Amino acid sequence: MRCNSGQIVQKEILSLQPKLHWMENLLRMGIREAVRSLWRTDVGDELLQIQKTRKEFEGDLTLVTFPLTRLSRRSPEQTAVEIGEYLAGHLEAVSGYNVIKGFLNIAIAPAEWARRLQSIASVSSYGFIQASPGADTVVIEYSSPNTNKPLHLGHIRNNLLGFSLSRINEAAGSKVIRTNIVNDRGIHICKSMVAWQMFGNGRKPEDEGKKGDHFVGDFYVMFEKRYREQTEELVAAGSTPEEARENAPLMLEARRMLIKWEAGDEQTVSLWQMMNGWVYEGFDVTYKALGVEFDKIYYESETYKTGRELVLKSLEEGHLIRKEDGSVWIDLTADKLDQKLLLRSDGTAVYMTQDLGTAVIRYNDFHFDRHIYVVGNEQNYHFQVLAITLQRMGYPWAAGLHHFSYGMVELPEGRMKSREGTVVDADDLIAEMTATATAMSQELGKLGGYSQAEKENICRQIGLGALKYYILKVDPKKNMTFNPAESIDFNGNTGPFIQYTYARIRSVMKKAEETVAGTHEENCSDVIPNAKEISVIKLLNDFPALVQEAAAELSPALIANYCYDLAREFNQFYHDYSILGEDDKKLRNFRLKLSELTGRVLERGLWLLGIEAPERM
């Protein structure tokens, strides 16, 4: 006797963990009943290996039967056939099965997918989990700019990855703290300051009509250019290249300035505050344009002091070593690493010093369970040392530090170099993307009937959507080449294609409200969907589990490529079947519900990527 699985499904959905397939629990129940009925024994969940059916085979879910042969005392194939027969005969949700060796591929009945769509529609926060009082606290650090130059393309990838990770982890149920550490001290900052003192003639950003970060960055490039000239002159006079780099007048002056700054010299600190202030104003404009934000910003000029105190305390406790020149190191050779400098011989701090201090301050601020550093893969060693050093110093929570190591971003013509001024400026790139979106939209005739303000806003959304999606769709572990010309396309695997699909759905829903208002809110669970409709429902069904997977894997690329797959599948359905023109009222309402939910999930997927979803395009 076949049973109606509708009520069972609803009950199971309530207790279903987000990572599980919506049908998996029902099948587990059915398989346990099959084993009990067929072979008079019970089976534990540890033997029930259920996974999505691979694309090259027919079916929706696959049971691996090899672990069950010790219960059935049959071959894997015969075990699969007997279980398949039982499920097809006893579960209405199962419409058929096939066996490939020891793999039982189970097909879910079309009617069950319609009921699933209705279940999705009933969950207002579908795919997202609200953080509970006991949820993990996750600190995510991203951006981490230096105040000697403006943000560039590399910073864009960092910011977009970090901000997207913060939203994905929030959607997966964690409490997320977005942080930024501004590298506002050190020899590189002093280089810009020295150059401005020597060559700036008292000029300010407003005198040249420049953003402050660009203005200061010009002096950093100027320093490096003059510094190279000085080292070449010293080498020509008989110095070795290393001696020349150490003794060039500009470098000596930068080092003197760093010592004066750490000693609190009033003039030096005043100059530092003025120039950093220019840079912060510039950064804020870029962050706003990118649409990223932070809950708390830390400054290296403050955290390095805590780091230095930690180092000196740890030295007293015997965890560190002081060398003959007075420098302080940690010996990590027992961990198959090497010795790491923590304080220079002149007492000044290094990057590791401030990162030690920042980590301790943040833990005291938030008592995080996990701390994710979004930093390029050239710093892999640094963060390995950081975690081990903190644990040696007696901080067990350092085991929760995680370096999100991502690949470099390059241009078709090669790698960028800040010192040589050959970087792609973030502000210029944002403006270029918006301009390109405007030109393409005009060429395709997509801007008719809009006010100038609406055109500008839509083109901004498209341009930034193209930029963000192109960067985030790539596996973050991989190096990537950014090609602006490829990123803006209303067809293919691009942000504008997904945005356009969302806008198309909104247009359909608006017309529906004007002609058949409210009918898509009806219960349409008794409609038998066709293959194209089921393909869309399957993807909608995957969304909650995908959000959890993206959070666990720390991969915005999973969300990005899912959005493309969903948009592509919906467009194929849209092309093949009428929605508002469908004569059958119940089928029309079902397709409207399918469209509305697709738009809802696309909007949420884009939100996770930090991409706006335009209502019109």
Which tens digits make up the pLDDT trace of 109-139?
A: 999 999 999 999 999 999 999 999 999 999 9
Superfamily of domain 142-410: HUPs (3.40.50.620)
Helix residue ranges, H only, 237-299: 241-247, 249-262, 266-290
Query: Is pTM beyond 0.85 here?
Result: yes
pLDDT (mean) for 187-205: 96
The pLDDT of residue 441: 83
Residues of the chain with pLDDT > 70, as a percent, come to 94
CA distance 108 to 60: 6
Q: Which amino acid is located at 85 in the chain?
A: E
What kind of fold does domain 6-108 have according to CATH? Answer: Gyrase A; domain 2 (3.30.1360)
The closest of 613, 601, 472 to 543, measured between CA atoms, is 601
Spell out where 348-446 has E strands. Answer: 370-376, 401-406, 409-410
Is there a contact between 433 and 464 (Cβ–Cβ < 8 Å)? yes
pLDDT above 90 as % of the chain: 83
**CA 371 from centre of chain:** 15
CB 304 within 8 A of CB 258: no
Q: Which among 75, 63, 49 is positioned nearest to 107, based on CA atoms?
A: 63
pLDDT of 446 higher than 80: no
156-170: per-residue pLDDT in tens?
A: 999 999 999 999 999
pLDDT tens for each residue of 354-396? 999 999 999 999 999 999 999 999 999 999 999 999 999 999 9
CA 431, CA 454: separation in Å to the nearest integer?
A: 17
- For residue 11, is pLDDT > 50? no
- 394: part of which helix (H) or strand (E)? none
- Say whether pLDDT at 417 is over 50: no
pLDDT at 447: 74
* Tens-digit pLDDT profile for residues 309-327: 999 999 999 999 999 999 9
Residue 119 CA, chain-centre distance (Å), reads 28
As a whole number of angstroms, the distance between CA 606 and CA 617 comes to: 16
Q: Which token pair is 428?
A: 């210029």
Alpha-carbon span 553 to 555, nearest angstrom: 5
Alpha-carbon torsion (489, 495, 496, 497), positive or negative: positive
Superfamily of domain 463-608 in the CATH hierarchy? Isoleucyl-tRNA Synthetase; Domain 1 (1.10.730.10)
Residues with Cβ within 8 Å of residue 34, at least 6 apart in sequence = 82, 83, 86, 87, 90
Helix (H, G, I), strand (E, B) or coil at 429: helix
Residue 603 CB coordination number (10 Å) = 19
* Single-letter code of the amino acid located at 243: E
* 170-203 b/e (C-beta count within 10 Å ≥ 16 → b): bbbbbbbbbbbbbbbbbebbbbbbbbbbeebeee
Q: Which of 465, 423, 459, 412 is nearest to 439 (CA)?
A: 459
Helix (H) or strand (E) holding 480: strand 480-481
Rounded to an integer, what distance in angstroms lies between the CA atom of residue 180 and that of residue 293? 9
Q: Where are the domains of the chain?
A: 6-108, 142-410, 463-608
C-alpha gyration radius of the chain: 30
CA geometry: angle 254, 260, 265, nearest 5 deg:
135
What does residue 338 show for φ and ψ, rounded to 5 degrees? -135, -165
Closest listed residue to residue 183, CA positions, set 203, 155, 163: 155
